[in-house]
């Protein structure tokens, strides 16, 4: 239970940052808001590119991305998550045109939950009760949620529920999955996560309209792919 403190703090910082961003949103001109949003896209791209360099075996990342995306497409995860965002949008936007509630919910949920600090931090919290990584992530997410909410609105606050569920689940399950999480597996999981963040950045910048959420299953596939790959190599 102590390990969940990091997730609770992270959830609270997203809510607090989002609330501050909403307060600031009213006084930001649309032109400036658009420029800040594009700048956030570039920062997101930088985070993704720099993080993906931790890859140890590109082939594993390729296989994970392909298989993970196929799984995501089969279950249509992107559409399901977007429908949640649109449901929230209908409830809170009051019929406003060009509402960004759904986009804010999906984009911020991905940014806050897809990455090394989420996986490593949640595992450390669950295994050792060490929440230091999640506390650091909380500070970063606090700043990011201010920027996101100031440009995309209230949808960012609802992403806090996604953070709570996703990180909390990893923390709770940490004891069971720990035996299979070798350094190689964690590195590949992180690499795939950062590649997905690059996709998110391209969407934010308006370059693509990737169904990024459909790629999320790829993050967890290295758990099976890495030991299988090592077995095949040892037999050759």
The reported pLDDT for the residue numbered 59 is 93
- For the chain, the average pLDDT equals 87
The reported pLDDT for the residue numbered 1 is 61
The reported pLDDT for the residue numbered 47 is 84
Q: Which domain holds residue 114?
A: 2-235
The reported pLDDT for the residue numbered 144 is 86
pLDDT band at 157, cuts 50/70/90?
very high
The reported pLDDT for the residue numbered 152 is 85
pLDDT band at 52, cuts 50/70/90?
confident
pLDDT digits (tens, 9 = 90+) for 172-202: 998 788 888 888 998 898 889 889 989 989 9
Tell me: pLDDT of 160 over 90: yes
The reported pLDDT for the residue numbered 31 is 77
In the numeric block, the tokens 């690059």 are attached to: 198
Higher pLDDT, 52 or 222: 222
pLDDT digits (tens, 9 = 90+) for 83-99: 888 888 887 766 555 56
Structurally, the chain folds into a number of domains equal to: 1
């Amino acid at each position: 239970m102590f390990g969940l403190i990091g997730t609770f703090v992270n959830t609270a910082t997203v809510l607090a940052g989002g609330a501050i961003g909403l307060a600031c949103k009213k006084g930001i001109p649309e032109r400036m808001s658009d420029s800040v949003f594009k700048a956030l896209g570039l920062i997101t791209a930088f985070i993704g590119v720099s993080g993906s360099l931790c890859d140890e075996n590109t082939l594993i990342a390729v296989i994970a991305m392909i298989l993970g995306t196929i799984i995501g497409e089969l279950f249509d995860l992107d559409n399901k998550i977007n429908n949640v965002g649109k449901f929230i949008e209908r409830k809170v936007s009051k019929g406003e045109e060009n509402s960004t509630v759904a986009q804010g919910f999906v984009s911020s949920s991905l940014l806050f939950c897809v990455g090394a600090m989420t996986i490593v931090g949640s595992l450390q919290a669950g295994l050792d009760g060490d929440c230091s990584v999640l506390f650091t992530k909380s500070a970063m997410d606090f700043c990011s949620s201010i920027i996101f909410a100031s440009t995309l609105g209230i949808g960012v606050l609802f992403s806090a529920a996604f953070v709570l569920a996703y990180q909390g689940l990893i923390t709770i399950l940490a004891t069971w999955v720990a035996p299979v999480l070798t350094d190689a597996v964690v590195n590949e999981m992180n690499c795939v996560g950062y590649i997905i963040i690059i996709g998110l950045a391209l969407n934010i910048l308006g370059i693509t309209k990737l169904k990024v959420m459909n790629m999320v299953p790829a993050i967890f596939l290295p758990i099976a792919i890495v030991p299988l790959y090592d077995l095949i190599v040892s037999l050759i």
